[in-house]
Amino acid sequence: MSGTAIRVLVVDDHAVVREGIRHVLSRDHGFDVVAEAVDGIEALALAKQHEPDVVVLDITMPAESGLEVAASLRRSVPEARVLMLTMHDRGEYVLEAVRAGAHGYVLKDAGPAELRDAVRAVHAGQEFFSPTVAGRLSAALRGELVREQQAGLVEVLTGREREVLTLIAKGRTNKEIGAELGISPRTVESHRESVVRKLRIRTVAGLTRFAIEAGLVGQ
């Protein structure tokens, strides 16, 4: 191998997958698969021993998950770049992988060229996401932003206003809310108007949706 070859550690609990990755990368002299690991414990030991440039890592493994391994690698071998190679395509998995320290995320149904491109990209200091998961990561991030914004808005409400909002979302009338909270319907209406003003949501449907998405009531 050339001295400029990208040194790769492959981590997957399935031998056939490890062999497949090795075969794909070995067809290009720009890569050198320096070691293979079957689980997270072995992966961390081999990463410290071989100091790979890139760790190609599955999420679902025995002992430790790939997410846990990625976080450990960030602490113990920070110079190694992490590329997740997995069958999990949900945005939540991608988001958790990024939080754990992954620099790329490729699905196992990717073609050989995509895998090689991904390894090159993360080694070069870039991020790489399969087209399918890139959109789902964006959606997950948008959902996270919405939840953070809603959490901030909930904090603006007083405890009593949250109680009133929760009961509105459960379909209670002002009279029913007043009876349940031990306050007058007029006081309920005052709290309701305050909630509407603070959240800038005027309809019952909108308030209900906000309460559900903010976790104040179940769906």
Q: Check residue 76 and give its pLDDT.
A: 93
Q: What pLDDT, in 10s, does the model give residues 122-178?
A: 999 999 998 888 777 766 666 665 666 667 778 889 999 999 999 999 999 999 999
Please indicate whether residue 1 or residue 210 has the higher confidence score (pLDDT).
210
Radius of gyration of the chain from its Cα atoms, rounded to whole angstroms: 25
CA distance 67 to 86: 11
CA distance 92 to 111: 23
Q: Check residue 37 and give its pLDDT.
A: 96
Task: Name the residue with tokens 């395509």.
Answer: 89
Q: Check residue 142 and give its pLDDT.
A: 64
CA distance 83 to 53: 11
Q: Check residue 143 and give its pLDDT.
A: 64
Task: Name the residue with tokens 């410290």.
Answer: 48
CA distance 146 to 162: 18
Angle in degrees, 0-180, between the axes of helices 91-100 and 131-156, rounded to the nearest 10: 80
Q: Check residue 4 and give its pLDDT.
A: 86
Please indicate whether residue 88 or residue 51 has the higher confidence score (pLDDT).
51
Q: What pLDDT, in 10s, does the model give residues 70-103?
A: 999 999 999 999 999 999 887 778 888 888 899 9
Residue from 20, 69, 61, 78 nearest 44 by CA: 69
How many C-beta atoms lie closer than 10 Å to residue 68's C-beta? 15
DSSP assignment, residue 12?
A: -
Q: What percent of the chain has pLDDT above 90?
A: 65
Which residues is 151 bridged to in the sheet?
none
Which residues is 81 bridged to in the sheet?
54
Q: Which residue segments constitute the domains of the chain, with CATH numbers given?
A: 6-137 (3.40.50.2300), 157-213 (1.10.10.10)
- CA 37 remoteness from chain centre: 24
Given a cut of 80, whether residue 66 has pLDDT beyond it is: yes
**Average pLDDT taken over every residue of the chain:** 89
Q: Check residue 89 and give its pLDDT.
A: 82
Q: Check residue 93 and give its pLDDT.
A: 83
Q: What pLDDT, in 10s, does the model give residues 101-125?
A: 999 999 999 999 999 999 999 999 9
Q: What pLDDT, in 10s, does the model give residues 171-183?
A: 999 999 999 999 9
